[in-house]
Each structure stands twice: as C-alpha cells, then as structure tokens.
Amino acid sequence: MSEKKKITLEYEVNSSPKILFGFLSEPNGLSQWFADEVIYRDQIFIFIWDGEEHKAKLVTSKENKLVRFKWLDDDPQHYFEMEVLQDELTNDVALAITDFAPEDTIDERKLIWDNQIQYLIRVLGV
C-alpha cells in the first residue's frame, strides 16, 4: 500500500455555520450530499456508496465548527475532517476539508471532493 499524503481543500459556502454543521455531522444531512445513505449505529457512521459500506468513527466534533471522522479500516493517523471557517470581519463562511490519499490518486480525490461540495452547495440552496 502506498504512503498517503495529506490534502487540504477549502470551499466558499454561503451558509450559516449552524445550518452547514448539520449537513456535516448528522446522518440525515450527510446522506443528502456526501453518501448515498448514512446510518449511525453504536458510535459508528456507516457511509454507503453504490451499495458498498464504509465505516467511520466520529472522533472529534465541535459544535458548528468541526467534525473529524476516522475510517475503521485505515491507518490510525489517517482521517477526514470538515471544518467550518468563518471570517471574523466579513462573516464569510468557508468549508475546509482535510483528507488523506495515496499520491497517485490525489487529483482524483480532489475532484471527488469538488463534486461533493458542489452538490452540498446545491442542497443548501445557496
């Protein structure tokens, strides 16, 4: 297995942090843009894409700010994180994504995130 590299992406999202956070932290919100279906059971989120289950544990959650998930079948130091950023002066809201991917798939992973975040923005109706 090739070494994974950390990738960080940032997207402008015209939404209140509170509304956005619901789409990042709740199974119902996540299932509207992130995965085909999301089930929460025994502290574990089950993300389903094309009928395939991927299990992750929510390891960090800061109200209206940040969620960090760790895939159960991945290395302990790898995670994916979605952080709500708000500019103190302009109140502009952005979503910062931190993820890990093998070097040869980074471009593909970025494209997946680009598509998912565009979908999220459409779902938010902003």
The token pair that represents 30 in the structure block: 């996540």
Q: Which CATH number fits domain 4-124: 3.30.530.20, 3.30.420.40, 3.90.1300.10, 3.40.50.300?
A: 3.30.530.20
pLDDT tens over the chain, length 126 residues: 568 999 999 999 999 999 999 999 999 999 999 999 999 999 899 999 999 999 999 999 999 999 999 999 988 889 999 999 999 999 999 999 999 999 999 999 999 999 999 999 999 986
Query: What per-residue confidence (pLDDT) applies to 75?
Result: 87
Q: What integer pLDDT is reported at residue 85 of this predicted model?
A: 97
**C-alpha to C-alpha distance for 71 and 44, rounded to whole angstroms:** 10
Specify whether the CB–CB gap between 56 and 71 falls below 8 A.
yes
d(CA 10, CA 81): 12
Closest CA to 14 of 105, 95, 102, 104: 95
Strand arrangement, sheet containing 44-49: 4-12, 93-102, 80-86, 66-71, 52-62, 44-49, 37-41
Residue type, 37: E
pLDDT recorded at residue 108: 96
Task: Please report, for the chain, how many H helices and E strands are present, in that order.
Answer: 3, 7
Report pLDDT for 29.
97
Whole-prediction pTM value? 0.93
Long-range contacts of 75-81 (CB under 8 A, 24+ apart): 75/4, 78/4, 80/56
